[in-house]
Structure 1
Amino acid sequence: APGELSLRIRSWWFMVGLFSAAVLLGPIAATWLLGFISFLALKEYLSLIPTRRSDRRVLFWAYLTIPLQYYWAATGWYGMFIIFIPVYALLLIAARKVLIGETEDFLRSLGTIHWGLMITVFSISHAAYLLALPGDTAPAGGVGLLIYLVLLTELNDVAQYVWGKRFGKRKVVPRVSPNKTWAGLIGGTATTLLLSLACAAFLTPLSLIEAAGAGLIIGITGFLGDVVISAVKRDIGIKDSGSLLPGHGGILDRVDSLTFTAPLFFHYLYYLHY
């Protein structure tokens, strides 16, 4: 699969180039780029799941959470950032749905919409909040923390694919993602761990032991994010979520790992140093 590997690497460079351009334009541009990625991911997700006409009146409120959530991230309002979607959006969407007056598939509809918000907006917005953390704690400020997260997450994806293709035989979750192997998971995580140690002193306030923990978190949870989105696609009955990115399907296929690594890395870092 040299062709598939080259497409994955091209897609990886596309994401790295996009983030690099946004970072060069400043934290505000990078924050709104991540907000736009959340918008695309949520839009793609909602286009895939079965929705009814009555659901469309609720979706406006779901989309409205994106600028608000990223505003809380950009301004560093941690209290509102951390509860806005899990609490207020959950209650608002439930209230709006009940006022429509339809109870058929109420729980299924409410659950799929809010789960989509949690994954595509709440989770990814943690990457944006890295930019609002106090800059004097990390050597390269919040920008360095974002680069560290994205670089390790993207490299982990490629490394797990390469290790899996080269040495993989035993499947991890064959019914969910037949291409995922133990060799890919272990080899990719080990590669990510080494990179996390190499970059930590330049981009983060993490000690070597803490950086090793960050590498393990990103390596393992990046894998989990990938297979969770794979499970969603299998449930819906599709292979790729879209065709936005060459060789890697839609935006959900590209940010699947980030949906897990962003919040877990953020809270690990926040607990240790902020």
Structure 2
Amino acid sequence: MSEELRLRIQSGIVMAAGVLLATWLGGFAFRLLAVAIGLLVFWEWSTMTRLREADRVGFALAWASQAILAVAILFGFLSFASALLLAFTLLAVAYMAMRKGTGWLPGGVVYAGLSALSLASIRGSDGTGLKAMLVLFTIVWATDILAYFVGRAIGGPKLAPRISPGKTWSGAAGGTAAALVLGLLAVSLAGGSANLHTGALIVVLSVFSQVGDLFESFIKRRFGVKDSSRLIPGHGGVMDRVDGLVFACFAAFLLSSVAHAFSSCAQCSVGTFLLGLSPL
């Protein structure tokens, strides 16, 4: 075993243990993890896209918005944080338009802010949130792992050769199929409803997970960087590790918000939606 592979395995075990512990504890512990991910994602995003060099004032304002949002999420004001994120996004877009700046500024505000907000909203503080988060981990990990092995075994046409030359359509299909089977199993074990609605949602989340991976690959290729950072030994940066997860979280959070808006359930949560327990 090479030294690089050993380092990768060791840091992977430490990361997995920390994430699973925070997920198990929930509440403030998981919100702290979500906020840390969001802030680190924005740091990596702004570094890769060179926001500071492009606009120092906009860069400072964007960091201020992320800090305020982080405090709101950390102390559990998630509805207020949702309103803040929308307001900060609109302000960033308006600022960009007035200064004729780069779209990477509001893009970073949304990407990092929604990363923290969606993670915290899904986990929540109860048992349902714990189950939903573990189901989501199952979907994303099954997609990622099986897409890699199926793609290598079968090969075939490339999924997006200009963005990520190694990914194939066979791998994408294999990853989604694995996510559907294991995701439905995880939902059943969690006491959820493994029905057609849940199956369709799992497929959507698996697809979004792969889109998230491609999106980060696009950013890195666009700015000529190999990794989002060197923060994690053997793994690159935080964005390199959570790209698929946060996109799946985006989809779950936004879809559940829409479902909630058209539902008579006053206590619907992202967790109950993911487990197929909230009425549409």
Q: What is the TM-score normalised by the length of structure 2?
A: 0.79
Q: Compared with structure 1, are the counterparts of its residues 97 and 209 closer, same or farther at alpha carbon in structure 2 (3 Å cutoff)?
A: closer
1:159 Cα deviation after fit = 1.7
C-alpha distance in 2 between matches for 1:165 and 1:242: 27
Q: Compared with structure 1, are the counterparts of its residues 77 and 250 closer, same or farther at alpha carbon in structure 2 (3 Å cutoff)?
A: closer
C-alpha distance in 1 between matches for 2:190 and 2:21: 18
C-alpha distance in 2 between matches for 1:16 and 1:196: 19
1:166 Cα deviation after fit = 1.6
In structure 2, the residue matched to 1:75 is 76
In structure 1, the residue matched to 2:253 is 266
Conserved in 2, the CA contact under 8 Å of 1:176 and 1:234? yes
User: Aligned runs of 1:91-110 on 2, under 5 Å?
Assistant: 91=91, 94-95=94-95, 103=99, 106-108=100-102
Conserved in 2, the CA contact under 8 Å of 1:240 and 1:249? yes
In structure 1, the residue matched to 2:62 is 62
Q: Compared with structure 1, are the counterparts of its residues 42 and 92 closer, same or farther at alpha carbon in structure 2 (3 Å cutoff)?
A: closer
> Sequence identity of aligned pairs in percent?
27
Conserved in 2, the CA contact under 8 Å of 1:61 and 1:93? no
In structure 1, the residue matched to 2:264 is none
C-alpha distance in 2 between matches for 1:191 and 1:10: 26
In the alignment, is residue 128 of structure 1 matched against residue 120 of structure 2? yes
C-alpha distance in 1 between matches for 2:191 and 2:9: 25
In the alignment, is residue 147 of structure 1 matched against residue 134 of structure 2? yes
C-alpha distance in 2 between matches for 1:162 and 1:8: 18
Q: Compared with structure 1, are the counterparts of its residues 195 and 70 closer, same or farther at alpha carbon in structure 2 (3 Å cutoff)?
A: farther
Gaps of 5+ in 1: none
1:240 Cα deviation after fit = 1.7
C-alpha distance in 2 between matches for 1:60 and 1:203: 43
Gaps of 5+ in 2: 260-272
Q: Compared with structure 1, are the counterparts of its residues 246 and 156 closer, same or farther at alpha carbon in structure 2 (3 Å cutoff)?
A: farther
Aligned length: 259
In structure 2, the residue matched to 1:202 is 189
In structure 1, the residue matched to 2:235 is 248
1:113 Cα deviation after fit = 1.1
Q: Compared with structure 1, are the counterparts of its residues 212 and 257 closer, same or farther at alpha carbon in structure 2 (3 Å cutoff)?
A: same
In structure 2, the residue matched to 1:228 is 215
C-alpha distance in 2 between matches for 1:269 and 1:8: 35
